[in-house]
Amino acid sequence: MARTASGGQAIRLPGSVPASLILGLWAAAIASAPSLTWKLALAAPALLLPAALWTIEKPGRWVAAFLATALLLPPLPIALGDTGPHVCLLFAALGLLAGLLRLPCWGVPATPLTCALGALALVLLASVAPAAILSGAVPAAGSLARVGLFGVAVYLFFYTAYGPGRETGSAASIRALYWAGAAAALFACVDFYFQFPAPAGYGPQFVWLDSGVYRRAQGFFYEASTLGNFCAFFLVMIAVALSRPRGDTPVSRKALAAGGALFLGALVLSYSRSSLGNVTVAGAVLVWQNRKRIRFARLLAPLAVFGALGGLAIWKIFPAFVENYWLRLTNSATYLFSSTEGVLSGRLANWETLTAWIAAHPWQALVGIGYKTLPYTDYLGAPVIGDNMYLSLFVETGIAGLAALLWLHVAILRSAARASRRSDKLASFCGTWMLGFWAGQAVQMLSADLLTFWRVLPLYFWVLALAVRE
């Protein structure tokens, strides 16, 4: 008790003194901090804690925040890993907490798709053990971290399709996602034009022109291939939207035209050929799927117009680069068989190294050496960049990992095809979108380790979840 000035007694709630003491010490620490940086760091919890509580209050908030920051923010300029940590992982952690707080909302059925996703995640996790045994603690820790990053996409799928987020996601969400993607593509084009310094770690990918050496467009991502794959995803969405009646698409025709120019421009500036092949495969799937429902001219004519306008705009701004890119594409087709090593940018030698190791160590290849250890271990004599998801996964996770990936392909394509025939407009749109795009992904994985594109993989799985959920 404490006596007041009037002689009465003031009632003190239990624990008020410790709480007041803590707040006082906290305020004193902020006031006496030696620099503004320390003051901000000490005061951060006062802002972060309410923001965290607000984020997990509604099931879909962390998903929106995660996707927005993953697409529109660069990694933090901190020397950790290849690129530095990314703020979107904070929202992924909040998403895990949001799922734990809503456990009664979960109900995951044992479907081929859910089993395939779970099997691949478990195989990748199990491969950390041989990574530790064969390559040591550091590569094993990196392997575990990359398994965790892949797990973010898997968790987001289950959360949206069969967990607390099953009531989230709508046509408005797709529109917001589309404009966020267009903003990321716009920045990639501006970034290439001005050649901004990379804000954090990045893949050293350059193009040599007569006017100088230019870093390939990468935007907010670690490397140009991720940007190209990301642009391919939205170009497939545009093709799907143009094949449907106006009322069945979440984005207007004018928005499709504006975004299409941006995505095509960023794809060209990324200098990626395999992503362009992804779009080509997806387009073929889309034409085949709609062969009886629409005329080819209705689909191909707008795409040709958008492509021509976008290509002309890019050529006007970056003529030397576009001419060099076109020459690269034509030379790839002309010299694919006569100069395969040059067309594949040195991949063939790496593939020969991996296949030779498999032939020399067949029993060990059945188990693998650890997921994503090839670029960081000397176990094969020197680090190797696989640039082939199937071959890399076979060496790193064995026959089980390769089988799980093939199973996942089949499960995604079958689920997406089934969703494309649903009466629900949003599910049908997302199902058709994923059917075409993932067919392209399956082909593009022959020349890229697409499962490691962890910043964009959750985006793909989120759209898949919107397609398959009931």
- Position 442 pLDDT exceeds 90: yes
- Position 99 pLDDT exceeds 50: yes
> Do 123 and 163 share a domain, yes or no?
yes
What percentage of the chain carries pLDDT values higher than 90? 47
> Do 328 and 366 share a domain, yes or no?
no
Domain that holds residue 78: 57-168+353-470
The answer to the question of residue 14 being in a domain is no
Taking the C-alpha atoms of residue 169 and residue 91, their distance in angstroms, rounded to an integer, is 17
Give the number of domains in the chain: 2
If you average pLDDT over every residue of the chain, what do you get? 84
> Do 317 and 410 share a domain, yes or no?
no
pLDDT tens, position by position, 191-210: 888 888 776 667 777 777 76
Taking the C-alpha atoms of residue 173 and residue 461, their distance in angstroms, rounded to an integer, is 14
Beta carbons of 468 and 429 less than 8 angstroms apart: no
> Do 294 and 267 share a domain, yes or no?
yes
The answer to the question of residue 31 being in a domain is no
Tell me what the mean pLDDT of segment 248-264 comes to. 88
Domain boundary among 334, 362, 383: 334
The answer to the question of residue 361 being in a domain is yes
Taking the C-alpha atoms of residue 452 and residue 406, their distance in angstroms, rounded to an integer, is 16
> Token pair for residue 305?
């117009």
> Do 268 and 190 share a domain, yes or no?
yes
User: Which of 101, 105, 91 has its CA nearest to residue 168?
Assistant: 105
> Do 192 and 133 share a domain, yes or no?
no
> Token pair for residue 453?
């594109």
Distances (CA, A) of 46 to 26, 64, 98, 469: 10, 23, 20, 38
Tell me what the mean pLDDT of segment 433-455 comes to. 95
pLDDT tens, position by position, 332-390: 667 666 666 565 666 888 898 899 999 988 888 888 999 999 988 888 888 888 889 99
- Position 391 pLDDT exceeds 80: yes
> Do 209 and 296 share a domain, yes or no?
yes
The count of other CB atoms within 10 Å of the CB of residue 448 is 24
The pTM assigned to this predicted structure is 0.87
> Token pair for residue 186?
């716009």
The answer to the question of residue 339 being in a domain is no
The count of other CB atoms within 10 Å of the CB of residue 433 is 29
> Do 244 and 297 share a domain, yes or no?
yes
> Do 207 and 313 share a domain, yes or no?
yes
> Do 62 and 153 share a domain, yes or no?
yes
